[in-house]
Structure 1
Amino acid sequence: MSQVRAYPAPGADRLTKVLLACGVLYGVSYVVGNDVIAAAMTRGYTRMDQAVSELSATGAAARPFLIGMDAIWMPAMVAFGFGVWRAARGNRWLRVTGALLVAFGVTSLLWLPFPMTARQDVVVGAALAANDVGHIGLTALTAVFILAEIGSSAAGLGWGFRIYCAATVVVILLFGALTGTQAPNVARGLPTPLMGFYERVNIGAWLLWMAVLAVVLWRRLDAEGSAALRPGDVPRAGRATT
């Protein structure tokens, strides 16, 4: 029986690459939007000691701007998820990763009604406000999403990428725990030294993982395209037999 090599049309690969690039767009625009523009708009804000969420807290000067940035972030995340799904080429675990990214992008809109209470408005000793309870719940949900995304992508790719994913998870868990040790001090009206640094390392590790995943899948698409030009080669992805 002869083998028929089934490869996507070049235009399909170009679209997938554009969608994958949206993952890099998300990361770059997130850093610029929060740590460059929003931080500059917030008087007295200290990146090293204050949480990212404080930039969009109740009454924060940068909150309207960051809400507007959701018009970039949510579509970029959803597009990246579809790009990962398309690049999976039938790889079940990568399809799970793509689906999780899409779901993460859609559910990110839930953050809008649940900003954290600004530090200056916190009443020491009072019960948590409903918006803070929702904010904490969404933070936990985000952690679950991120770990599931990284874990499923590791299962779908080779050992080199799995080792990288394992290191990323270690960084996320370590610096997430360090951030958590400072979080109660916000409600107590106490200083939170290095809280912002810890959280930014945590978030940065995830954003870097997105960029690395986009590059890895982009290179796989290029490799498959090159193999399609060599009649004797049959790549694992996109192979069909008759």
Structure 2
Amino acid sequence: MKSMFADSNEMTGSTVTRRSMVRKVLLACGIAAALIWLATDILASLLYEGYSYPFQPISGLSATGAPTRPYVTAFDNVYVVLKLAFAFGVWMSAGQKRTLRITAVLLFAWGIIDLAASFFPWNPGEAVGTFTNIMRAILAGGAAVILILLAIGFGASADGRWFRFYSYGTLLVMVLSGGVMAFLNSTPVEANLPPAWFGVTERINAYGYMLWMLALSIILLRSQPNSLESQD
């Protein structure tokens, strides 16, 4: 009888250890996703001759006809898969913490939207009102941004006061940079050309939420699922 209980406890302990390892691997995918996205953007902008990092939009690196499109698209696909895996890791870390569960769902939805947006690359040679460009704007510039803002808002309570302030600061920067982008878009420019400093403004926004995702990954890797339940 004692042997049976000992075997049962050993199996339970092994299951818990295996689950903990899977959770950590999935959470590490969040770090990898953020770093891959940031590295891809920086390196592709350097390899694309004639591309203006401070002026041109990020989507220009994967636009139709861009020389960097093949490998940017390839790395973006890897990034999306890693982000989806990270969402599962956040879910496994949530325990009974409802806000973190919602964050996981939002991150997963964000990944699906990114995947859908990849089928509608920006085409700078066409008018803004074409179907492909409109769908790109709706998915990447509309739905994805809303999901990101909500994910940061719900995920703000993941690790006490400092992370909450950091998350709210990220939201503030994103809102302000979004306002600047809207203002720049309202200024008259030549047809199919981005407004001045659009690239910098967009990257302040994008780098902000990538760093937030990286920070959330590190926080959850250092935390135990049970320790998060009392913070909701």
Fold shared per TM-score above 0.5 = yes
2:222 corresponds to 1:216: no
Residues 92 and 156 of structure 1 are in contact (CA less than 8 Å); yes or no, is this contact kept in structure 2? no
Shift of 1:163: 1.2
Give the corresponding residue for 1:60. Answer: 66
Residues 148 and 209 of structure 2 are in contact (CA less than 8 Å); yes or no, is this contact kept in structure 1? yes
Residues 174 and 205 of structure 2 are in contact (CA less than 8 Å); yes or no, is this contact kept in structure 1? yes
**SS at structure 1 position matched to 2:54:** coil
Q: Counterparts of 2:228 and 2:24 in 1: how far apart (Å)?
A: 19
State the TM-score, normalized to the length of structure 2: 0.84
Q: Counterparts of 1:56 and 1:93 in 2: how far apart (Å)?
A: 34
Shift of 1:31: 1.4
Shift of 1:105: 1.2
Residues 172 and 205 of structure 1 are in contact (CA less than 8 Å); yes or no, is this contact kept in structure 2? yes
- Pick aligned residue for 1:83 from 86, 89, 97: 89
Give the corresponding residue for 1:171. Answer: 173
Large movers: runs of 4+ above 4 Å: 184-187, 235-238
Give the corresponding residue for 2:100. Answer: 94
What amino acid maps onto 2:57 in structure 1?
Answer: A
Shift of 1:133: 0.8
Residues 175 and 202 of structure 1 are in contact (CA less than 8 Å); yes or no, is this contact kept in structure 2? yes
Identity fraction in percent: 31
Unaligned runs of 5+ residues in structure 1 are 1-5, 225-234
Flag the structure with higher helix content.
2
What amino acid maps onto 1:165 in structure 2?
Answer: S
**SS at structure 1 position matched to 2:223:** helix
Shift of 1:155: 4.3
Cα deviation, 1:41-60, whole Å, max 9, x if unaligned, reads 32200111111011111211
Cα deviation, 1:41-93, whole Å, max 9, x if unaligned, reads 32200111111011111211111222222331121011110011111112111
What amino acid maps onto 1:197 in structure 2?
Answer: V
Residues 56 and 194 of structure 2 are in contact (CA less than 8 Å); yes or no, is this contact kept in structure 1? no
**SS at structure 2 position matched to 1:172:** helix
Cα deviation, 1:213-241, whole Å, max 9, x if unaligned, reads 111111212x96xxxxxxxxxx5649xxx
Aligned ranges 1:149-228 → 2 under 5 Å: 149-183=151-185, 188-189=191-192, 192-221=195-224
Residues 58 and 116 of structure 1 are in contact (CA less than 8 Å); yes or no, is this contact kept in structure 2? yes
Residues 57 and 115 of structure 1 are in contact (CA less than 8 Å); yes or no, is this contact kept in structure 2? yes
* Number of matched pairs: 216
Q: Counterparts of 1:191 and 1:70 in 2: how far apart (Å)?
A: 22
**Greater Cα offset, 152-161 or 72-81:** 152-161
Give the corresponding residue for 1:232. Answer: none
- Pick aligned residue for 1:107 from 94, 104, 113: 113
Q: CA RMSD in A?
A: 2.4
- Pick aligned residue for 1:10 from 17, 28, 38: 17
**Greater Cα offset, 75-84 or 105-114:** 105-114
- Pick aligned residue for 2:48 from 42, 52, 66: 42
- Pick aligned residue for 2:34 from 27, 31, 40: 27
Q: Counterparts of 2:228 and 2:175 in 1: how far apart (Å)?
A: 34
